[in-house]
Amino acid sequence: MSSLSELREMSNEQMDAILKEACKDLFQLRIKAQTDRLDVPSELKRNRKLVAQIKTIQRQREIEMERAKQA
């Protein structure tokens, strides 16, 4: 979907929207994996990785903002 550099260039609102969509897709994939076969099993891993990357970038931004407030 998005490369790491593209994610870093996005605004917080855009990343929130993508995170929400990715979490929804991940939930649907997990349900489908339990009840049926997935067409592309690697989609599950790709979505988990995307969610983790977005959350990591958001946390890094939070830390940078806290450091800026302290300085």
Query: Mind listing the pLDDT tens digit of every residue in the chain (71 residues)?
Result: 568 899 999 999 999 999 999 999 999 999 999 999 989 999 999 999 999 999 999 999 999 999 999 97
CATH no., domain 4-70? 1.10.287
Residue 67: partners with Cβ closer than 8 Å, 6 or more residues away: none
Domain spans in the chain, listed from the N-terminal domain onward? 4-70
Measured at the CA of 10, the angle between CA 6 and CA 12, to 5 degrees, comes to: 145
Helices (H) and strands (E) counted in the chain, each on its own, are 3, 0
Report pLDDT for 2: 66
36 touches 54 (CB < 8 A): no
